[in-house]
Amino acid sequence: MDSYTPTARTQVRRLPKRATYDKEQVHAILDEGYICHVGFVVDGQPFVIPTGYVRFGDQLYIHGSSASRMLRSAGQGLDVCVTVTLVDGFVLARSVFHHSMNYRSVVALGKARLVVDVEEKRAALRCFTNHIVKGRWEEARQPNEQELKATSVLALPLEEVSAKVRAGPPIDDEEDYSMPIWAGVVPIRQQAGEPLPDDRILPGIPAVDVRRAALR
């Protein structure tokens, strides 16, 4: 299917015209982000933890330390809620009430599993690394057995998913359009800067090509 089927948990009810369930658009949002927030409950206490992630096919891989409460708890089959949000602009209206943001967001629900297969874990870590800088996994030292044990990876199938998008100019009350107040959108973009070398880098090593780390 080209779209995710809305469920009682993922059906967008607040401003439903901003909702999308299109897989291509959902995947594009996920592929552009780097940090997700993972919500879960342990013994009645809710937690929301920011962490790195990457999409591979129809699942998310979530990365963390083996000592992480989130990964230990979610790996036991707890329900999780994973969110990703990209801010595209500040929407400045003529009235304070109608100020907003242009954004793209995804919410994914489900049960995450702990990745225990070594080859799948290595493949996931390769995806994490190359999501940040293309080809970095192939040129850096790859994790040894001890480092693999110290790292946990969760896999969350992308099954219950929805996205919400706000784009375009402010929408003011009709009577406010005649007010002498600037209104419009201030675009917000992430941009990779010039690489800063490590103090202990060996002489003659060229800097990483910033285009490989360019934000999508």
- Tens-binned pLDDT, residue by residue, of the chain (216 aa): 798 887 888 787 777 777 788 899 999 999 999 999 999 888 888 989 999 999 999 999 998 766 666 666 665 677 899 999 999 999 999 999 999 999 999 999 999 988 989 999 999 999 999 999 999 999 999 999 999 988 889 999 999 999 999 999 999 999 999 999 999 999 999 888 889 999 999 999 998 888 887 666
* C-alpha to C-alpha distance for 116 and 186, rounded to whole angstroms: 45
| pLDDT recorded at residue 78 | 76
Q: What is the pLDDT of residues 130-186, one digit of tens each?
A: 999 999 999 999 999 999 988 889 999 999 999 999 999 999 999 999 999 999 999
User: Which one, of 3, 5, 6, 37, lies nearest residue 105 by Cα?
Assistant: 37
**Domains detected in the chain:** 16-169 (2.30.110.10)
Structure token digits, residue 119 = 């080859």
| pLDDT recorded at residue 75 | 59
Residue 198 in contact with residue 174, Cβ under 8 Å? no
Q: 122 vs 31, 148, 152, 154, 204, CA distance in Å?
A: 19, 8, 11, 12, 30
Who contacts 184 (Cβ-Cβ below 8 Å, separation ≥6)? Answer: 92, 169, 170
Q: Tell me the H-state helices in 84-162.
A: 118-132, 136-139, 145-149
* C-alpha to C-alpha distance for 194 and 148, rounded to whole angstroms: 31
> Within 13 Å and on the Cβ side, how many CA atoms surround 91?
17
AA identity, residue 79 = D
The β-bridge relationship of strands 100-111 and 79-92 is antiparallel
